[in-house]
Amino acid sequence: MRYAPRSEPFFSRNAWIALGAFAMVTLVIVPALYVFVPEGDPFHVSAYTVTLAGKIMCYCIVAVAMNLIWGYAGILSLGHGVFFALGGYAFGMYLMRQIGREGQYQSDLPDFMVFLDWKAFPWQWTGSEHFLWAAALVVLAPGLLAFVFGVFAFRSRIKGVYFSIITQAMTFAFMLLFFRNDTGFGGNNGFTDFKRVLGFPITAPSTRAVLFALSAIALVGSLVLTRYLIRSKVGRVLTAIRDSESRLMFSGYNPLWYKLFVWTLSAVICGVAGALYVPQVGIINPSEMSPANSIEIAIWVAVGGRGTLLGPLLGASVVNGAKSFFTQSFPEYWLFFLGLMFILVTLFMPKGLTGLAARILGRFK
């Protein structure tokens, strides 16, 4: 929430300890328990747990990116699902190329292209067989889209709810675009049935463990980056944009470039999260771009607490945990719960769970 002055340490002692513990658990303990402890042993971590935790960590990264733009710069994006999905699709293309001839039709082309009777890869797929190009695309695709969109939107000073609904229209348009078979990304079904990544079988425990650890590293990286950013001068300008853009302009700053920078950065982080998400979950399809998905990202951040470092993590974990629980046990009540969460959190918990916790702790002091 508040601007962190330079005099403050980068992280407090406790924060460093927590960070170390988190790294220890995610990089060493969980992968080891999953890969080396045999199944059936009480200490074994199941593949389901690792995948679920990996998935939630990817969501956490998205929440961190959302927090960067909404929590600090006060710009509510309802289109972050697009950046997430674009990253996912970019890496998914590489994963599709890795299937090789092991698809159902034993063709060089992915199954859906054979099905559509295509003879060659369309231009969008150029170079997607190279891991490095795919990795570059993970950053470039969401980054470029965000940059171009941002230039136009911020230049004409679209802000507030106007900006939100235009981003929503953008994600809706992209969803429709990706639903088309002609777009060349598998239409309705998207990409699935991945076999390998960098030659390693994708369902092998060791591969999963590495992907899990990579998600953890990316998450920690995004947190450190956020912290670095808000301690910097840029971070100060960003919070000023949130609090009073007109005043900032009158003081001689041009908010355009700051907004554009944080907006693009946020999109790129989302893209990376998407790229890590796809190999773990094993599927990417256009429904990731549905407006409802993007707006759910906002509620993760709101539940956790906007403008705090750890709030988004907490929110993403709590909401997605609840979602897993509800959709398995009471599927018909999930939307009620989600809807009520949107209403109650905005009405009664404007600072989210972290704010609530701080208030309760404050009482005890």
The nearest distance, CB 307 to another protein, in angstroms, is: 13
Contacts of 22 (CB under 8 A, 6+ apart): 216, 220
Q: Binding segment for another protein among 15-23, 94-102, 203-211, 290-298 (CB under 8 A)?
A: 290-298
Show the tokens assigned to 331.
């599927």
Of the pair 261, 342, the CB lying nearest another protein is at 342
How far is the CA of 361 from the CAs of 17, 355, 365, in angstroms? 21, 10, 7
Using the rule CB under 8 A, is 172 a contact of another protein?
yes
Among 62, 95, 137, 170, binds another protein (CB under 8 A): 170
Of the pair 34, 258, the CB lying nearest another protein is at 258
Among 302, 309, 313, 314, binds another protein (CB under 8 A): 302
Q: Binding segment for another protein among 10-18, 135-143, 168-176, 219-227 (CB under 8 A)?
A: 168-176
> Under rule CB under 8 A, which residues in 328-347 are in contact with another protein?
332, 335-336, 338-343, 346-347
Using the rule CB under 8 A, is 180 a contact of another protein?
yes
The nearest distance, CB 154 to another protein, in angstroms, is: 11
Q: Binding segment for another protein among 110-118, 164-172, 201-209, 212-220 (CB under 8 A)?
A: 164-172
Among 52, 158, 217, 256, binds another protein (CB under 8 A): 158
The nearest distance, CB 162 to another protein, in angstroms, is: 6
Using the rule CB under 8 A, is 156 a contact of another protein?
yes
HEC secondary structure over the chain: CCCCCCCCCCCCHHHHHHHHHHHHHHHHHHHHHHHCCCCCCCCCCCHHHHHHHHHHHHHHHHHHHHHHHHHHCCCCCCCHHHHHHHHHHHHHHHHHHHCCCCCCCCCCCCHHHHHCCCCCCCHHHCCCCCHHHHHHHHHHHHHHHHHHHHHHHHHCCCCHHHHHHHHHHHHHHHHHHHHCHHHCCCHHHCEECCCEECCEECCCHHHHHHHHHHHHHHHHHHHHHHHHHHHCHHHHHHHHHHHCHHHHHHCCCCHHHHHHHHHHHHHHHHHHHHHHHHHHHCEECHHHHCHHHHHHHHHHHHHHCCCCCCHHHHHHHHHHHHHHHHHHHCHHHHHHHHHHHHHHHHHHCCCHHHHHHHHHHHHHC
Using the rule CB under 8 A, is 122 a contact of another protein?
no
Using the rule CB under 8 A, is 124 a contact of another protein?
no
Show the tokens assigned to 277.
């998400």
Of the pair 48, 348, the CB lying nearest another protein is at 348
Size of the site for another protein (CB under 8 A): 43
Among 166, 220, 281, 322, binds another protein (CB under 8 A): 166
Using the rule CB under 8 A, is 291 a contact of another protein?
yes
Of the pair 150, 274, the CB lying nearest another protein is at 150
x/- site string to another protein, residues 231 to 260, per CB under 8 A? ---------------x--------------
Among 177, 188, 243, 359, binds another protein (CB under 8 A): 177
Using the rule CB under 8 A, is 353 a contact of another protein?
no
Please say whether the beta carbons of 290 and 340 come within 8 A. Answer: no
Closest CA to 220 of 261, 272, 283: 272
> Under rule CB under 8 A, which residues in 11-70 are in contact with another protein?
70
Using the rule CB under 8 A, is 157 a contact of another protein?
yes
Please say whether the beta carbons of 185 and 124 come within 8 A. Answer: yes
Query: Which residues make up the interface to another protein (CB under 8 A)?
Result: 70, 74, 76, 149, 152-153, 155-158, 160-162, 164-166, 168-170, 172-173, 176-177, 179-180, 246, 291, 295, 298-299, 302, 332, 335-336, 338-343, 346-347, 350
